Structure 1
Amino acid sequence: MPDVATRTFDKAPATVPLMLKAALPALPVVGGLPGVKHASGEAPDLVLRRTGVTTDPAHLERYNQVCGFGSGATLPVTYPHMAAFALHMSLMTDTAFPFAPMGLVHLRNTITQHRPLGIGETFDVAVRAADLRPHPKGRLIDVLTDVTVGEEVVWSEVTTLFARGKGGAPEQTEAPLEGLEAPSGVVQWKLAGNLGRRYGAVSGDRNPIHLYPLTAKAFGFPSNIAHGMWTKAHALAALTNRLPDAYQVDVEFKKPILLPGTVVFGSRSRDGEIDFGVVGARKPVTHMVGRTTAL
């Protein structure tokens, strides 16, 4: 087997240059140039690490305000994704990664919190790609993230990305939330048109599809859309008092949420699990389904 290369960062890479780099493969002529064109092979043998990560309380407060979390002594379950996002972008913009980033769809996301992370704890983050596999309409690949304190893995994430293409085949394993329907609910979320810009400012994810109607229309959307990770975070903020210290939360993103808009959140508890979902308020369109499972 080939050796795995490791790149270590002592601070988060700047996301604005990475966003610009992500756009280059989509440009005519430029996209085919050496150093820009992506490989078409397997997941790269590459690990990106960031060491000595600490939490900026001011940034955490902004994140909590945008996503709906209250303050506390531990980090929200989705917050370590903030420390990993720039590494995700660095990995996906590397030409060894088998897909151009702008063509990818965030299809599924699984977070496992083995224990809560204290606000004052220092941790390391490691990111790699794995499991390139078929999908009926293209291919899937996972971006894996581990957060460690010393030698202890305290948090991990699987970000499943979908690349549309020809020659797809049935998935080899059943999707984690296969057959799950969004529970009915009565809680409405009224989402402003600037939500994508607000979350983009705090997360670093300034993908044009989230920012303005005009930039989203350039990528085929009728308006800008909410970030999937904001939707997951806001749902978990609504469930905070019902969740244990150690649990896994799976979500599948179905249809994008157009901004501005109103959606309905619902949840249902059973045997150590909570099923939840987000659907349209005016049309019965499912935007996201999820499930938490106690560990």
Structure 2
Amino acid sequence: MRSIDLNADLGEGFGRWTLGADEALLDIVTSANVACGFHAGDPSTMHRICAAAVERSVAIGAQVGYRDLAGFGRRRIDYDPDDLRDDILYQIGALEAFSRVAGGRVGYVKPHGALYNTAAVDDVQAGAVVAALNAYGGNLPLLCQPGSVVARLATAAGLPVVAEGFADRGYQADGTLMPRSAAGAVLHEPDEVVARTVRMATDGEVETGTGQVVAVPVASICVHGDTAGAVQLAARVRAGLLAAGLLVEPFVRTRPSPAGSAGGGPDRRR
């Protein structure tokens, strides 16, 4: 039976400000992209999400972003590549601490927001992402768009790469996501979202806003946790995938590493 991972961005509150229904989504998704405190998230939230994910056997991923709480990481920042590399390492390490306390591990890394979109097309920032993963140990899978610059550089560096599609986002003809400012960039109609998701998971393709069909061979599907009705939509997406005959499961199984080892490592299922 073919399998597919279902992921969501979680832990994106900060202090007294909350965003999304994290626990409810953790009952639906199979991988949690946990904000690491730069674009969103704080230590207590990271601790809580990691514990809840381990309890539900949900894989934990470091959702790394720009140092931009005010802009929620959705504004491009031109970094010195060494500074960006170190910021990413810092975020992975912070989440790893809370994952270990909860009895799990960070199983993969996914860039967030503007970093995700920039690394998809920009060699410098994509190189910084790859450099951070290499420095950490080179065994954490990178969750990113298929065909992106960062996917190409990571593959060339020998890093595991997992291709990701988006259930509720509009696509452009080149396979990149539509800017959030554009009409049709975020989709809300459940039947449309479910149909697009099943098509991506089974046929590896998606229809753009202009009617073109674009190849998107994916192993993981993202449902956003900060959109209206996110929990209900995620539940519909999961039910649609199961009805299509797919097994919905994490693409990694994390385990604690032996004491004293650096970087650890996930049990990769693909």
Give the alignment's TM-score, normalised by structure 2: 0.29
More strand by share: 1
Instruction: Give the number of the structure whose alpha-carbon radius of gyration is greater.
Output: 1
**Quick one: higher RCO (CA 8 Å, sep 6+), 1 or 2?**
2
More helix by share: 2
Give the alignment's TM-score, normalised by structure 1: 0.27
